[in-house]
């Protein structure tokens, strides 16, 4: 990419960017001015001189991606979006961190044009960027496996902070990025040695550059100027070198001084998360050659110069479009695939590939899910994923597919465009990487581990839900049913805890066919979801006797109706549905009519209309029992005042699954007793 000579106009734009960072925080009275001040020349150089982007079309497929991992310094991004012409106005900067503004405290995906991912939880952006870089390579394999064009080649640029690199998730993701030799990933580390508590050497003294060399990254050191300012010229040379390095990711360690050039606040922790104050801002503006009495002043000539990046971006975009049309003519099938992927459509008849499971055989829902995953992959090339080193247990390996590994890998089955991702034992990074893959825009990722280890990745799961992106988490070994591994591996509170996350659907199917229908629903809905799947075999319900598994799509349904007017409703999920059916038979033999409701996804059930809900959970039937092998929190909403919840409000133990279910009261007799007690409470 040709770059113009750096000019006085560019210096002026950087100066204005520093002033806007101070003014925006000062006006609202809170925020993080120091990093945004120091990073002004870095972000400006990136947006004006390196990023391949078109501010008039933030969804341009051929664009580079930019991730501000240190999301607390959101003004670093907002100011460049304003200067570059992404639609943010000066008034938006004036309303920084206020209600309904386009400039919230941390960048939010889907809220502000030009923001590629929600950042703020430190380290998350680094893992997202790794996912984006992996997605770019996989998509290249879908669209240009022979490397005949550069249309689908682009870079992922990241700015991260000391805090990002202290968080373990960044190390997990960066380690995998090195193994994957992600040459399209370029990360600038703002090493200012300041965090909220002061000098980072209070807790962070390792050789970070050495660590990244050990990860397999290309590492470039950029020292600060003698006055503490960023050495912009040296940084630009480093960025040029980073662009030319394509065989591995690049890590630029750039030294800076927080709040530069504030005369008293520079280099101090106070400037990290507090307004500088009127006097310090005035003194800083004098040093910058600005009028200290003025705020939010952006000279016309400065804005006009910065907005020239639109011309550059549109020229790049126009050239790309011309090449793209040529590619489409030469590659009609791949062009058709791309059109479908961009529209989020699905191929006609794809659902017919989903397996149906015959009754009479016991199948673990994790095993059923594995068969569904392979079936989906056969008709959805955009569907890919893997596991945090538990693929054999999670059943997340796509049958007949190769491993996603760089071409230099000596591992058996390695393929740079493979569909099976080996995340290693890195649950949190796996979650963040999956988010980055989904954010990149064209593919549908999934990742697996044991349900109990969803704790390790909860931050990433929450962000997937917050961004409402189509990531599927495959969590297996969903209860004490995993047996002898004991309470360290037996999830108890996890189902209830995960259900508390807004926008996240938690699916715990009762049998193999519910699993198949649930996967269909997850793909169709195109939203974040998590499966909770059994280790142990579960009976495949005979759907000529019991209701169709299609009811799964509504979240809860009557799987087995009472033989007369219902006296009690038994509500169960997962492996406990069969237990409820067994209890129903005993109750019926005693003249007590029980309706059994399978509730694989309470979130989907809540989306149905009131009439449907009441048709399943009859308001007239106050006697109700919920059965789920986890804590009972949340079930009172469904069983009511007269209801009883059979659950596990304590940790498990190490023993066989059968022993534990019996020992902890998950038996048909216990359900029968609870049903009778609830009937008595309800006065039925």
Inside any domain, residue 342: no
CA distances to 276, 399, 513, 515, 540 from 357, in Å: 65, 18, 6, 10, 7
Asked whether residue 263 falls in the same domain as residue 365, the answer is no
Residues 6 or more apart whose CB falls under 8 angstroms from that of 258 comprise: 34, 35, 37, 38, 192, 194, 266, 267, 268, 271, 272
Phi, psi of 230 (to 5 degrees): -60, 135
Alpha carbon distance 363, 360 (integer Å)? 10
356 closest CA partner among 152, 618, 552 = 552
| Mean pLDDT, residues 162-187 taken together | 98
In terms of residue numbers, what domain contains 617? 552-682
Q: Give the total residue count for the chain.
A: 684
Give per-residue pLDDT as tens, 226-246: 999 999 999 999 999 999 999
In the annotation, is 427 catalytic? yes
Q: Is pLDDT above 80 for 684?
A: no
| Mean pLDDT, residues 567-571 taken together | 98
| Residue 241 CB burial class (10 angstroms; 0-12, 13-18, ≥19) | middle
Asked whether residue 532 falls in the same domain as residue 557, the answer is no
CB atoms within 10 A of CB 346: 16
| Mean pLDDT, residues 356-382 taken together | 97
Alpha carbon distance 620, 160 (integer Å)? 58
Asked whether the beta carbons of 58 and 80 are under 8 A apart, the reply is no
Inside any domain, residue 182: yes
- Residue 486's region, left for phi above 0, alpha for psi from -120 to 50, else beta, is left
| Exposure b/e, 624-661, CB count within 10 A at least 16 = b | bbbbbbbbbbbbeebbbebbbbbbbeeebeeeebeebb
Asked whether residue 488 falls in the same domain as residue 589, the answer is no
Asked whether residue 87 falls in the same domain as residue 192, the answer is yes
CA distances to 194, 195, 387 from 37, in Å: 14, 15, 41
Asked whether residue 240 falls in the same domain as residue 101, the answer is yes
Number of structural domains in the chain: 3
Q: Is pLDDT above 90 for 617?
A: yes
Asked whether residue 459 falls in the same domain as residue 584, the answer is no
370 closest CA partner among 524, 491, 254, 533 = 533
Inside any domain, residue 547: no
Alpha carbon distance 481, 451 (integer Å)? 12
Asked whether residue 535 falls in the same domain as residue 557, the answer is no
Inside any domain, residue 336: no
Residues 6 or more apart whose CB falls under 8 angstroms from that of 450 comprise: 390, 393, 394, 475, 476, 477, 482, 489, 491
| Mean pLDDT, residues 346-364 taken together | 97
Q: Is pLDDT above 90 for 35?
A: yes
Q: Is pLDDT above 80 for 568?
A: yes
Number of H helices, E strands in the chain: 26, 22
Alpha carbon distance 346, 339 (integer Å)? 11
Q: What pLDDT score does 540 carry?
A: 98
The catalytic position among 108, 116, 236, 427 is: 427
Domain end position, chosen among 293, 314, 335: 314
CB atoms within 10 A of CB 497: 18
Asked whether residue 162 falls in the same domain as residue 221, the answer is yes
pTM, rounded to two decimals: 0.98
Inside any domain, residue 331: no
| Mean pLDDT, residues 472-496 taken together | 97
Asked whether residue 397 falls in the same domain as residue 479, the answer is yes
Asked whether residue 21 falls in the same domain as residue 64, the answer is yes
Q: Does residue 63 sit in helix, strand or coil?
A: coil
Q: What pLDDT score does 210 carry?
A: 98
Q: What pLDDT score does 2 carry?
A: 80
Asked whether residue 306 falls in the same domain as residue 420, the answer is no
Inside any domain, residue 193: yes
Q: Identify the CATH number of the domain in which residue 584 sits.
A: 3.40.50.920
| Mean pLDDT, residues 474-487 taken together | 96
Domain end position, chosen among 483, 515, 539: 539
Give per-residue pLDDT as tens, 291-335: 999 999 999 999 999 999 999 999 999 999 999 999 999 999 999
Inside any domain, residue 339: no
Asked whether residue 506 falls in the same domain as residue 457, the answer is yes
Domain end position, chosen among 288, 314, 340: 314
Give per-residue pLDDT as tens, 267-290: 999 999 999 999 999 999 999 999
Inside any domain, residue 307: yes
What is the average pLDDT score of the chain?
98
Q: Identify the CATH number of the domain in which residue 507 sits.
A: 3.40.50.970
Alpha carbon distance 678, 684 (integer Å)? 9
What tokens does 159 get?
Answer: 């700015």
Mapped to the 3 state alphabet, what secondary structure does 410-436 carry? CCCCEECCCCEEECCCCHHHHHHHHHH
How far is it between the farthest Cα atoms of the chain?
A: 91
| Mean pLDDT, residues 204-212 taken together | 98
| Mean pLDDT, residues 566-574 taken together | 98
Asked whether the beta carbons of 232 and 252 are under 8 A apart, the reply is no
What tokens does 645 get?
Answer: 């919840």
Asked whether the beta carbons of 285 and 26 are under 8 A apart, the reply is no
Alpha carbon distance 530, 454 (integer Å)? 10
């Amino acid at each position: 990419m040709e770059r113009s000579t750096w000019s006085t106009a560019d210096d002026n734009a950087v100066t204005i960017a520093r002033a806007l960072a101070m003014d925006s925080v000062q006006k609202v009275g809170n925020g993080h001015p120091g990093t945004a001040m120091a990073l002004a020349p870095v972000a400006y150089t990136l947006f004006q001189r390196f990023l391949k982007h078109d501010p008039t079309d933030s969804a341009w497929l051929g664009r580079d991606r930019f991730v501000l991992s240190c999301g607390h310094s959101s003004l670093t991004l907002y100011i460049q979006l304003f200067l570059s012409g992404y639609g943010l106005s000066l008034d938006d900067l004036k309303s920084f961190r206020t209600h309904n503004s386009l400039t919230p405290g941390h960048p939010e995906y889907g809220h502000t044009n030009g923001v590629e991912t929600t950042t703020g939880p430190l380290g998350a952006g680094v893992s997202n960027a790794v996912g984006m870089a992996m997605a770019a390579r996989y998509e290249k394999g879908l669209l240009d496996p022979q490397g005949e064009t550069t249309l689908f080649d682009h870079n992922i640029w990241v700015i991260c902070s000391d805090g990002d690199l202290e968080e373990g998730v960044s190390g997990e993701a960066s380690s995998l990025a090195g193994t994957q030799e992600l040459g399209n990933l370029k990360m600038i580390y703002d090493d200012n040695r300041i965090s909220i508590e002061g000098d980072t050497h209070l807790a962070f003294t390792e050789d970070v550059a050495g660590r990244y060399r050990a990860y397999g990254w290309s590492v470039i050191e950029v020292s600060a100027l003698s006055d503490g300012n960023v050495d912009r010229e040296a940084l630009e040379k480093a960025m040029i070198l980073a662009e030319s390095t394509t065989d591995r990711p690049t890590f630029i360690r750039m030294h800076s001084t927080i709040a530069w050039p504030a005369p008293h606040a520079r280099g101090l922790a106070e400037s990290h998360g507090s307004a500088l104050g009127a006097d310090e801002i005035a003194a800083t503006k004098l040093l910058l050659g600005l009028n200290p009495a003025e705020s939010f002043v952006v000279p016309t000539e400065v804005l006009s110069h910065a907005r020239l990046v639109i011309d550059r971006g549109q020229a790049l975009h126009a050239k790309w479009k011309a090449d793209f049309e040529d590619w489409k003519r030469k590659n009609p099938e791949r062009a058709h695939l791309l059109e479908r992927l961009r529209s989020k459509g699905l191929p006609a008849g794809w659902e017919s590939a989903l397996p149906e499971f015959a009754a009479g055989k016991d199948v673990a829902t994790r095993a059923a899910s594995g068969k569904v995953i392979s079936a989906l992959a056969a008709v959805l090339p955009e569907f890919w994923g893997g596991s945090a080193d538990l693929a054999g247990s999670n059943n997340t390996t796509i049958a007949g597919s190769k491993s996603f590994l760089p071409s230099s890998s000596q591992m058996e089955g390695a393929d740079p465009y493979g569909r099976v991702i080996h995340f290693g034992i890195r649950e949190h990074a796996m979650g963040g990487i999956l988010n980055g893959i989904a954010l990149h825009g064209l593919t549908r990722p999934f990742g697996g581990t044991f349900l109990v280890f969803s704790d390790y990745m909860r931050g990433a799961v929450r962000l997937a839900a917050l961004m409402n992106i189509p990531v599927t988490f495959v969590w297996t070994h969903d209860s004490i049913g995993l047996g002898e591994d004991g309470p360290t591996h037996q999830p108890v509170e996890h189902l209830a805890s995960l259900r508390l996350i807004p926008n996240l659907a938690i699916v715990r199917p009762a049998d193999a066919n519910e699993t198949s229908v649930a996967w269909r629903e997850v793909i169709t809905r195109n939203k974040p979801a998590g499966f909770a799947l059994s280790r142990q075999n579960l009976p495949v319900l005979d759907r000529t006797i019991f209701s169709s598994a299609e009811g799964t799509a509504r979240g809860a349904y009557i799987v087995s109706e009472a033989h007369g007017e219902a006296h009690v409703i038994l509500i169960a999920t997962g492996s406990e549905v069969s237990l409820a059916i067994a209890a129903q038979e005993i109750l019926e033999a005693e003249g007590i009519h029980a309706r059994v409701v399978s509730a694989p996804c309470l979130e989907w059930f809540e989306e149905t209309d009131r009439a449907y809900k009441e048709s399943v959970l009859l308001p007239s039937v106050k006697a109700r029992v919920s059965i789920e092998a986890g804590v009972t929190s949340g079930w009172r909403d469904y069983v009511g005042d007269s209801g009883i919840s059979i659950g596990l409000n304590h940790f498990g133990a190490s023993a066989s699954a059968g022993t534990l279910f019996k020992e902890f009261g998950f038996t048909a007799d216990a359900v029968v007793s609870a049903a009778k007690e609830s009937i008595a409470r309800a006065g039925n």
